[in-house]
Structure 1
Amino acid sequence: MAFHHRNPSPWMAGFTSGDRNRFSFSLMALCISSAVYAAPAGAEDTIVVNAVEENAAQAATSYTVPATRAGTKLNLTQRDIPQSVSVVTEERIKDQNMRDVKDILDNVTGVSATQYDSERFDYFSRGFYINNYTYDDIPSTQYGAWNFGETDGDAAIYQRVDIVRGSTGLMTGTGNPGAAINFVRKKADSKTFAGDLSASYGSWDTQRYVADLSGPLNDAGTLRGRVVTGYQDGDSWLDRYHKTKKFLYATVQADLSDNTVLDLGYDYQSRDTDGATWGGLPTWYSNGNRVDYDRSDSLAPDWTYFNTLSRKVFAALTTQFANGWQTRLNATHGEANFDSKLFYPSGFPDQNTGILAAGGYGFAGWYHGLRTQTAVDAYASGPFTLLGRQHELVAGVDYSRQRNRYLYSSSMVSAADIGNIINFDGNLAEPDWPAWGLSAEDTIRQKAAYTAARFSLADPLSLILGMRYTQYSTNGTSANMDKNNLTPYGGLVYDINENYSAFLSYTSIFQPQTYRDRQGNYLKPVTGRDYEAGIKSDWYNGRLTTTLSIFRIEQDNLGQIDGDNYVNNSSEQAYVAAKGVVSRGVDFEINGAVTDNLSLTFGATRYVAKDASGSRTNPQLPQTDLKLFTRYNVPVMPALTVGGGVNWQNRTYKDAAGPSGATQRVYQGSYPLANLFARYEVNKNLSVQANVKNLFDREYTSSVGSGVVYGEPRNFSVSVGYSF
């Protein structure tokens, strides 16, 4: 991997961050223009520094990466990125037995989840919803109203996941200030045949099989292939719940010349779920008493299901030039659909009979959804000289078009027909479904041009300046809007010594939203600013990194859930726009190899988010969380690796309308979730691993409010792996 750095060692002090936009972006454009003319291709003063690759043993067991393009598309070490960045590598995914995207995000510093039922999860950072997901740097915007299985995507196809906390409008277009998640897919880069086979069995009769095979497809090794495929099947702690997953990921890499590489790939993922729940269990009886449930209780009838299918094709053409410059053309097309029959009871059950009290009813819904997305991104990056110093520049354009279409058929079910919901056994007649209706049909387009430059102002001082111009449009039943926005970005960093750097950064926020108020009016786009400052360090040639940052995020028009109110009495949640929202807090993370035998990830986040009236925003999210995971290779038994960790969060709450109609505050107390793992290498090819999650079987709700959703109880898995 090659990247450009001001110091002779790419692992040493290079660190970047932001000045709070004190520099003029017009001046930046002038400097960039001058630099382009000052540094023609092949200029003699161009210096290219290549990263020293880790040895194979370190790379195979690393929790860190030498460099990433997350945040700015400049290929930088973490110390050179002017924001808080977390990396989840393939080795940590393996150690912690992360099977899907949900498992990954649940264990990322500063990221928290809201769970609505068995299938729907939304993720947040610093108090704000995360909807910026990129795949190999191509932006894809997700919306929480519909579930296409994004959080259930299998983790086996990813080499790593990069998470940038804070606003990332420079690279993702519309800059939600929570975070941006970049999934880096596995590549067909092996010139020798290699493989990884695994089989596992665990709680609730869950079985999983994965094969990862790669190698050359011709004698010269200039054409290479890789296939990752798997099957998973199992029940759940929920009654009548069963899920089957199948996935196939195939990619080919071809050396078209000594400096040009073409990647082509296909990603297929299918998930079929029987007994899917919709919403939570009623919190109160009709008399106001709290209902005491078993964690296995489910209100899903026997006929409910939730099935998703996604298919993606992608291609990337990368050319490296002798002067250190690189061009990359990246394109993808994806189609995803879901088909679901769901049911939830609305109201409060009688404590004696379990039947929904007067005004209660059941709502049955049959939903189809189709989402297609086509996206193209092209950029060039490399070094240039200006005023006798070497700098770096990236410039590019991208385009994306996303089409969404949702159909529904719904039916009401009387409380008498439902019967006792406290002892519900799934025996409920499937309703006669009426004709299909159109729920929503939209087309979302983004066109953008962006540039960023990293200026070496002095040996210990560097500056990143960037700008993105975005044309955003939404047309359809959900919204009709056209917005243009200019997103500035600034970062200033000072190298204190070879290990420590200090930074400042600034970026603006622009986030169109499709939330509606009770009357059906769309909320205005979210606007604001994001400031961050802190200290970063790296040790042991970059194998251990630390970040301590403080941040302040200012926003207007932030959509907030409007209690239990819905849009025009439909099933669509209503929102209100909060004014003057400010989130401020601190992040800390240490990640990597502390010693030759001990690796760990520890993250701590504390923030406070309030609107102009002093009311807490998104109070259902933890404002303090700690996440720790460790791995230790036992010196006296080199074949044995043990580890574990704990995730802890503080108390959360949500205001909801109780049986009397009055608003009540529902709390979830603070709780820890502990986990353990052990792996024994029988020989150089064969290993056995065991994982335990929620070791102390802590009972907790992963969603608070008028509906109760329980998190997973203690569970285990045992796997056998064979590598060659």
Structure 2
Amino acid sequence: MNIITFKKILFSFLFLTSLTMMGQETGKVTGKVILSGNTPAENISVSLKGTKYNAVTNQHGQYEIKNVKAGSYTISIKSVGIRPVEENIVVTAKQTTTKNFSLSETQEDLDEVVITKNKYKQDKPSLSLRLQTPVLEIPQNIQIVSGQTLKDQQIISMSDGVIRNVSGAVRLEHWGDMYTNITMRGSQIQAFRNGFNVVSSFWGPLTEDMSFVDHIEFVKGPAGFMLSSGDPSGLYNVVTKKPTGVTKGEATVMAGSYDFYRASLDLDGKLDKKGKFLYRFNGAIQKKGSHRPFEHNDRYVFAPVLSYQVDDKTKITLEYNLQHANMSEVGSFYVFGADAARYGTMPVGFTMTQPGLPDTKINDHSGYLVFEHKFDDNWKVTAQTTYFKYLQEGYSSWPSGVGPGPVDLNYDGTPDGTLAVGEIIRNVGIWDSESNMFLGQIFVNGKFNTGAVTHKVLGGVDLGSKDYIADWGQSHDLDTFATPFNIFNPNYGTPANGLPNFDRQTPLSIRAKAAGGLMSSEYAAGYVQDELGFFDNKLRVTAGLRYTWISQSSWGGDPVADAHITPRGGISFSVTESTAIYGLYDQAFIPQSGIIKSGEKVQPLTGSNLEFGIKKDWFDGTWSTTLSVYSILKQNELTGDPQNEPGQQYSIVLGEKRARGAEFDLRGKIFDGFNVIANYAFTESRVLELSNGVSGIKVGDDIPGFAKHVANAWLNYSIPSGKLKGLGASIGGTYLAGRLTDTWSAGLERLPNYFKLDGGLSYETGKMKFTANVFNILNEYLYSGSYYASTNVNAYYWQTEQPTNVRFGVTYKF
């Protein structure tokens, strides 16, 4: 053996010896980090303070730190938006030290900044819902549509396909992309934004552009207890994007069929080195045509947010949203049938609108100021206020007469002329409006124990003032009896009676008063709720009480004031850590706007909800299911008078109606790369009692505006590894059966069943993602509408959806 060989052997021996000694002197640290409700906390930084040893939790909340030198350490848990959690540990050579962490649910900010690979499932509601409880444990059906869902489905506004992700939600009578108007559990639900009820009239608010939306929460059943007044059928709460403290950006451009072009930008970051002063900016610009000629809906959005962390306990957030819409007149999408026999008798792209009409312009402003202060880990106070200002200068279209038959344009009992089949006199009315809303909330969340019983307390005060004024008192017939509009031979040249020239010199307040377009409401409310936890919080009992005072006026009438006390009681029991059953009884009390022909005063709507359900998280919470059954009673509800003539806006007090049904929702990651949203709902809504003097409606009649059977599915698979990693495909469908029209006019035919199939492909590589979706793949003739019966108009009317159309998008993250 030569000297060189000897040295190699000696070196190898010493090297192996040193490795053995190192192995004898080191250990391993492992564990799991969870949120409340046993939800895994992903992407959380775990480190041994003052050393190089660190790790990040995986999708199951697990972490592992190897080759740690034996000794005493301080282990630290960190994430943007929460205070560090630190504990002392001892690492022993050749042994594994296990340290698990359960993050306190008072660290609410964590839920807003943790990015999870579970694209379609969120486990906690937003802070604006005021709850401190995971969705699994809340005694109510709450479904959350995640931001990634909106991106995958290329949803651009609140009225653009969001409802496919929630059981039982429908839009049977569309308002284009102007107002959302969602029906659920048998009636129209309330529109909320960041916890505020932002409905100022029958038609508002302007549907939210998705550029500044983080996610959307659908709360089934009464939610007026927590969120000012609300309909007993439920609400949707649009949660806007907030600063996360992570410096990042995202730019997206999209293009599609029928002259659709869009660009959006999302910037997120810090304005100081310490990360106390944060910002978020979202903006978008859009040009959107239609499958019908002469129709468009163009927009731009500007949405900055600033937040300042004064200290560990106090944060202030300031937010502003501007949405500007420049669109065709309201009603341009309606088509009236060629005969009185059925819907859908005209081509899918047919239009009755008149080119050359001025655009309808809308500016929707909203500003928020939020103050949050934590007294300690158990008590927090939140005060927030908002101001909404809505400005509209525009037009609406509806025919004065539809043939065949005599037409009385002056409504004086004497026919002014006769129209043949297919002949129409189109009418354009003015629609100028302004809305001002001042809303404020202050509430306290607290936790404490009395012996073995835990308490989660919520108490607060809501204040609001809403005013809406509108001029719809001017109108103009575009056509004449000598030269009517003929749907079989349409002429889109200058109309025979010219274009309208409305008075806009007179101040809107004066014009609105003359037209009866004045509505207002003021309210004040106080509430308290306690969620009691028994047997280590396996059994949860919720009890609450709310006092609400409301003063309202409608259509220029005198204000009417009333007050009401509404109780709330719920129970939720965790059969296992991942399964909970619940029951809920709740009441609602909300103002109504309308005018009754007899002069009767409009009273607030009252309602009650009884609901039972079972919720389950599957496979460590990667996907979840909810099954619920409910019965809702509503009293004093206003509805459109079936005896209305054209131009009349009278309402009637229906009496009592009941909605009942069953709902099933599934969402989440079934296995790595495969995400699913699926739901089904059966809904039945009928008249139980009629008020005196109501005609045209019978006890047992179905309530308009819902579908008895609604089923949706959206499946997405992205290849998680290998050469094709990042390639994805989606397929989804919507099926509606037993569709009812949106009015009491039964007509001769109801809406047919509806089926829409969509799908797409995507590819993500590095900082780039490419997405392409095809909507209405089967090129079905899809529409919704109703039958309108009056002196001059007796016809089916409907609006069609786009035939097969495509959207292509590119996103760059930086």
Q: Does 1:111 align with 2:166?
A: no
Give the 3 Å change call, closer, same or farther, for CA 713–110 of structure 1 in structure 2: same
* CA distance in 2 between partners of 1:210 and 1:641 (Å): 23
For the 8 Å contact 1:362–1:415, the answer to whether it is kept is no
Query: Which amino acid in the other structure matches residue 533 of structure 1?
Result: F
The residue aligned with 1:32 is none
Give the 3 Å change call, closer, same or farther, for CA 281–517 of structure 1 in structure 2: farther
- Once the two structures are TM-superposed, the CA of residue 531 in structure 1 deviates from its matched residue by 0.1
For the 8 Å contact 2:249–2:813, the answer to whether it is kept is yes
Q: What are the equivalent positions in structure 2 for 1:406-445 lying under 5 Å apart?
A: 406-408=470-472, 409-413=474-478, 414-427=480-493, 428=495, 429-433=498-502, 437-438=511-512, 439=515, 440-445=517-522
Q: Does 1:553 align with 2:632?
A: yes
The residue aligned with 1:582 is 658
The residue aligned with 1:261 is 315
Task: State the structure with bigger RCO (CA 8 A, min sep 6), 1 or 2.
Answer: 1
Query: Which amino acid in the other structure matches residue 128 of structure 1?
Result: S
Q: What are the equivalent positions in structure 2 for 1:179-578 lying under 5 Å apart?
A: 179-191=234-246, 193-274=247-328, 276-278=330-332, 280-285=334-339, 292-304=345-357, 305-350=359-404, 356-357=419-420, 361-408=425-472, 409-413=474-478, 414-427=480-493, 428=495, 429-433=498-502, 437-438=511-512, 439=515, 440-459=517-536, 460-475=538-553, 477-478=556-557, 480-519=559-598, 521=600, 523-563=602-642, 565-566=643-644, 569=645, 571-578=647-654
The residue aligned with 1:703 is 785
- Once the two structures are TM-superposed, the CA of residue 540 in structure 1 deviates from its matched residue by 4.0
- Structure 1 stretch displaced more, 452-461 or 418-427: 418-427
Q: What are the equivalent positions in structure 2 for 1:90-129 lying under 5 Å apart?
A: 90-103=147-160, 105-107=162-164, 108-116=166-174, 118=176, 119-129=178-188
- Once the two structures are TM-superposed, the CA of residue 84 in structure 1 deviates from its matched residue by 0.9
* CA distance in 2 between partners of 1:55 and 1:174 (Å): 26
Determine which of 665, 671, 685 is the counterpart of 1:595. Answer: 671
- Structure 1 stretch displaced more, 207-216 or 518-527: 518-527
Query: Which amino acid in the other structure matches residue 411 of structure 1?
Result: H
For the 8 Å contact 1:88–1:104, the answer to whether it is kept is no
Give the 3 Å change call, closer, same or farther, for CA 521–361 of structure 1 in structure 2: farther
- Structure 1 stretch displaced more, 543-552 or 71-80: 71-80
For the 8 Å contact 1:10–1:51, the answer to whether it is kept is no
Question: What secondary structure does 1:172 align onto?
Answer: coil
The residue aligned with 2:753 is 670
For the 8 Å contact 1:175–1:511, the answer to whether it is kept is yes
* CA distance in 1 between partners of 2:130 and 2:469 (Å): 32
Give the 3 Å change call, closer, same or farther, for CA 545–572 of structure 1 in structure 2: farther
Task: Write the deviation string for residues 37-58 of structure 1: whole angstroms up to 9, x where unpaired.
Answer: xxxxxxxxxx955679689996
For the 8 Å contact 1:242–1:275, the answer to whether it is kept is no
TM-score when normalising by structure 2: 0.77
* CA distance in 2 between partners of 1:227 and 1:573 (Å): 42
The residue aligned with 2:775 is 693
Give the 3 Å change call, closer, same or farther, for CA 377–540 of structure 1 in structure 2: farther
Give the 3 Å change call, closer, same or farther, for CA 307–643 of structure 1 in structure 2: same
Q: Does 1:718 align with 2:775?
A: no
* CA distance in 2 between partners of 1:655 and 1:398 (Å): 33
- Once the two structures are TM-superposed, the CA of residue 284 in structure 1 deviates from its matched residue by 4.9
The residue aligned with 1:27 is none
* CA distance in 2 between partners of 1:375 and 1:523 (Å): 23
Give the 3 Å change call, closer, same or farther, for CA 272–575 of structure 1 in structure 2: same
Question: What secondary structure does 2:258 align onto?
Answer: helix
For the 8 Å contact 1:115–1:121, the answer to whether it is kept is no
Query: Which amino acid in the other structure matches residue 354 of structure 2?
Result: P
- Once the two structures are TM-superposed, the CA of residue 318 in structure 1 deviates from its matched residue by 1.1
* CA distance in 2 between partners of 1:202 and 1:360 (Å): 33
For the 8 Å contact 2:200–2:437, the answer to whether it is kept is no
Query: Which amino acid in the other structure matches residue 670 of structure 1?
Result: N
* CA distance in 1 between partners of 2:635 and 2:454 (Å): 40
* CA distance in 1 between partners of 2:551 and 2:239 (Å): 28
* CA distance in 2 between partners of 1:415 and 1:60 (Å): 63
For the 8 Å contact 2:378–2:448, the answer to whether it is kept is no
Query: Which amino acid in the other structure matches residue 38 of structure 2?
Result: M
Question: What secondary structure does 1:79 align onto?
Answer: helix
- Once the two structures are TM-superposed, the CA of residue 471 in structure 1 deviates from its matched residue by 1.0
The residue aligned with 2:125 is 68
Query: Which amino acid in the other structure matches residue 423 of structure 1?
Result: N
- Once the two structures are TM-superposed, the CA of residue 313 in structure 1 deviates from its matched residue by 1.3
Question: What secondary structure does 2:198 align onto?
Answer: strand
Query: Which amino acid in the other structure matches residue 240 of structure 1?
Result: F
For the 8 Å contact 2:595–2:651, the answer to whether it is kept is yes
Task: Write the deviation string for residues 312-343 of structure 1: whole angstroms up to 9, x where unpaired.
Answer: 11111112233321111111111111111233
- Structure 1 stretch displaced more, 612-621 or 494-503: 612-621
Give the 3 Å change call, closer, same or farther, for CA 387–229 of structure 1 in structure 2: same
- Once the two structures are TM-superposed, the CA of residue 174 in structure 1 deviates from its matched residue by 2.6
For the 8 Å contact 1:204–1:236, the answer to whether it is kept is yes
* CA distance in 2 between partners of 1:289 and 1:666 (Å): 6
Unaligned runs of 5+ in 2: 1-32, 41-102, 406-416, 689-697, 788-795
Task: Write the deviation string for residues 416-473 of structure 1: whole angstroms up to 9, x where unpaired.
Answer: 3443244334332203435763231232111111111110133321101111111111
Give the 3 Å change call, closer, same or farther, for CA 167–147 of structure 1 in structure 2: closer
For the 8 Å contact 2:129–2:195, the answer to whether it is kept is no
Task: Write the deviation string for residues 619-651 of structure 1: whole angstroms up to 9, x where unpaired.
Answer: 442111011112111245221121121111103
TM-score when normalising by structure 1: 0.86
- Once the two structures are TM-superposed, the CA of residue 501 in structure 1 deviates from its matched residue by 1.2
The residue aligned with 1:39 is none
Q: Does 1:621 align with 2:699?
A: no
* CA distance in 1 between partners of 2:601 and 2:105 (Å): 50
Give the 3 Å change call, closer, same or farther, for CA 573–698 of structure 1 in structure 2: farther
Query: Which amino acid in the other structure matches residue 127 of structure 1?
Result: G
Task: Write the deviation string for residues 453-501 of structure 1: whole angstroms up to 9, x where unpaired.
Answer: 1101333211011111111111461552101111111101111112211
Unaligned runs of 5+ in 1: 1-6, 15-46
Task: Write the deviation string for residues 650-674 of structure 1: whole angstroms up to 9, x where unpaired.
Answer: 032449899xxxx633222112111
- Once the two structures are TM-superposed, the CA of residue 293 in structure 1 deviates from its matched residue by 0.5
Give the 3 Å change call, closer, same or farther, for CA 128–544 of structure 1 in structure 2: same
* CA distance in 1 between partners of 2:813 and 2:615 (Å): 36
Identity %: 19
For the 8 Å contact 1:175–1:508, the answer to whether it is kept is no
- Structure 1 stretch displaced more, 118-127 or 204-213: 118-127
Q: What are the equivalent positions in structure 2 for 1:627-638 lying under 5 Å apart?
A: 627-635=712-720, 636=722, 637-638=724-725
